[in-house]
Amino acid sequence: KSSPAGAPERLPFSKVTDEDLAYFRKILPGRTITDPDLVESSNVDWLKTVKGSSEVLLRPQTTEEVSQILRYCYNRNLAVNPQGGNTGLVGGSVPVYDEIILSTSLMNNILTFDNISGILTCQAGCVLENLSLYLEERDYIMPLDLGAKGSCQIGGNVATNAGGLRLLRYGSLHGTVLGLEVVLADGRVLDCLATLRKDNTGYDLKQLFIGSEGTLGVITAVSILCPRKPKSTNSYLFLLLGCETFEELLKTFQLCRGMLGEILSAFEFLDSECMRLLNTHLKLPNPISDCPFYIVIETSGSDPDHDSQKLDNFLEEAIASTFVTDGTVATEESKIKALWSMRERVTEALTHDGFTYKYDISLPVERIYQLVTDMRQHLGDRAKSVVGYGHVGDGNLHLNITSPAKDPALLAAIEPFVYEWTASCQGSISAEHGLGLKKRNYIYYSKPSQAVALMGNIKAMLDPKGILNPYKTLPDNLK
């Protein structure tokens, strides 16, 4: 079998035998899946661009079962691919060859929730949206939110260090995750499931696993600090605004931060190309007049009168200073949801436009749209669509380029141009999606070789046989 794009040759791991299957069936009766039709969907990623050929899907329910699986695989030198909701966008969540798929989907119990501190402890396979619903009933919310919330799992979120739509307000998972339980490659259980806000006893080991994409251990439980839900119904306010230039969009951002301050919970953007794709492929009509740029603003505070007063003052000022040319406000939940989908569903709209090349770039905020403009000019009419959207508040651009079908010539025009451009601004070539299979060989554009070498040492220490998610995150040529 030739190696899939971006992957080296298959490493000399063992192959699963009947004896191995008999062991797995003994410890996971009814949860050792080998029917090819059932394993198929776990072999293919969300974007349908990476496909493995695993013949075994394991569905443990407890940490002890994960530990037994890994202890066995480690001794047998069998490679393992941890999998959560399989919504990852960089080919990290599916096997490359015949790695055993270890799914956390049945590890979906909430363990504890403390409604004084707001600390939630749950198994890794809890779906993000289910956690949000559970918390909302208790007047709390999750500190993260993303378009994939209906499928992605908290373990996958932590493993990718997902950013999403609320990072501007509540910060990254490196701050909100208070503890993790992780099963190491050889089956040892590392219990760092603290529920303390402060704990400076030695190295903070859990941080190593946040964003490690299943290469250092399998996360089995998470404890996370959750913010209070904004107090009354109607305390979410939402704006969709239109701007003529990206400079004006940035000026609006400045104004917004100054005038909305602590109640600002999201400041996102999409360009007119995204709006075109939403209209064309998802039949979502533009609720305001056509503009080159659209801003999505959400506020959430605890005093609806005070919040709407602040928002009115901001709007008045933004209109008076002619930064924005049109806009609409939403206060009802259903309208807010409908408007949020204009931002959340761009990724889905792109999948209908053709084969998509995705770039998830961190840059100084004033540079983020320049990359889109330069890319359009650089590609001319070779691409079908070149779109820019993302998390303005975090300096995170999602640059997506489509073509009618997979197009190696187009790819050669995009890369390394996009990575060199990013490196020239000291940006990051992966702001929030991780490196997975697709981006790992470009790590040196954003990290010095000493840092990458140290990552290699950490991997070798925690997983000396390299059985956990091989071919992912670290580059082929560790310098």
Q: Which does 400 bind (CB under 5 to 8 A by kind): ligand FAD, ligand 2HG, none?
A: ligand 2HG
Q: How far apart are CA 112 and CA 98, in angstroms?
A: 36
How many CB atoms sit inside 10 A of residue 423's CB? 16
Q: How far apart are CA 86 and CA 46, in angstroms?
A: 6
Supply 313's token pair. 């003052």
Q: How far apart are CA 430 and CA 445, in angstroms?
A: 10
Q: Which does 155 bind (CB under 5 to 8 A by kind): ligand 2HG, ligand FAD, none?
A: ligand FAD
Closer residue to ligand 2HG in complex, CB, 106/411:
411
- Residue 184 CB, shortest distance to ligand FAD, in Å, is 11
Check: CB of residue 393 under 8 Å from CB of residue 382.
no
- Residue 399 CB, shortest distance to ligand 2HG, in Å, is 8
Task: List binders of ligand FAD among 333-352 (CB under 6 A).
Answer: 347
- Residue 268 CB, shortest distance to ligand FAD, in Å, is 9
Closer residue to ligand 2HG in complex, CB, 182/418:
418
Q: Which does 99 bind (CB under 5 to 8 A by kind): ligand 2HG, ligand FAD, none?
A: none
Q: How far apart are CA 46 and CA 89, in angstroms?
A: 7
3-state secondary structure of 460: helix
Q: Among 152, 128, 124, which Cα is nearest to 66's? A: 124
Q: How far apart are CA 259 and CA 472, in angstroms?
A: 43
Stretch that binds ligand FAD, among 11-19, 321-329, 428-436, 455-463 (CB under 6 A): 428-436
Query: Residue from 343, 358, 433, 440 that binds ligand FAD (CB under 6 A)?
Result: 433
Q: Which does 358 bind (CB under 5 to 8 A by kind): ligand FAD, ligand 2HG, none?
A: ligand 2HG
Supply 442's token pair. 């470009």
Closer residue to ligand 2HG in complex, CB, 215/400:
400
Q: Among 127, 110, 95, which Cα is nearest to 214's? A: 95
- Residue 246 CB, shortest distance to ligand 2HG, in Å, is 18
- Residue 163 CB, shortest distance to ligand FAD, in Å, is 4
Q: How far apart are CA 120 and CA 193, in angstroms?
A: 11
Check: CB of residue 72 under 8 Å from CB of residue 23.
yes
Query: Residue from 400, 403, 430, 473 that binds ligand 2HG (CB under 6 A)?
Result: 400
Query: Residue from 95, 143, 155, 179 that binds ligand FAD (CB under 6 A)?
Result: 155
Q: How far apart are CA 343 and CA 387, in angstroms?
A: 13
Q: Which does 219 bind (CB under 5 to 8 A by kind): ligand FAD, ligand 2HG, none?
A: ligand FAD
By the 10 Å C-beta count (0-12 exposed, 13-18 middle, 19+ buried), 37 is classed as exposed
Side-chain-facing half-sphere of 280: CA atoms under 13 Å: 14
Supply 286's token pair. 């533009």
Q: Fill in the per-residue mask, 86 to 125: x = in contact with ligand 2HG (CB under 6 A), - = not in contact.
A: ---x------------------------------------
Query: Residue from 4, 92, 143, 230 that binds ligand FAD (CB under 6 A)?
Result: 92
Query: Residue from 49, 157, 252, 299 that binds ligand FAD (CB under 6 A)?
Result: 157
Report the greatest alpha carbon distance in the chain.
74
Check: CB of residue 215 under 8 Å from CB of residue 99.
no
Check: CB of residue 439 under 8 Å from CB of residue 422.
no
Query: Residue from 60, 147, 214, 327 that binds ligand 2HG (CB under 6 A)?
Result: 147
Q: Among 147, 402, 414, 148, which Cα is nearest to 280's? A: 402
Task: List binders of ligand 2HG among 332-371 (CB under 6 A).
Answer: 347, 358, 360
Q: How far apart are CA 338 and CA 469, in angstroms?
A: 38
3-state secondary structure of 222: strand
Can you give the length of the chain in residues? 479
Check: CB of residue 440 under 8 Å from CB of residue 475.
yes
Closer residue to ligand FAD in complex, CB, 118/164:
164
Stretch that binds ligand FAD, among 77-85, 258-266, 334-342, 443-451 (CB under 6 A): 77-85
Residue 385 binds ligand FAD (CB under 6 A): no
Which residues bind to ligand FAD, rule: CB under 6 A? 46, 82-89, 92-93, 104, 124, 146-148, 152-153, 155-157, 159-160, 162-164, 213-214, 218-219, 347, 432-433, 436, 469, 472
Which residues bind to ligand 2HG, rule: CB under 6 A? 89, 147, 347, 358, 360, 398, 400
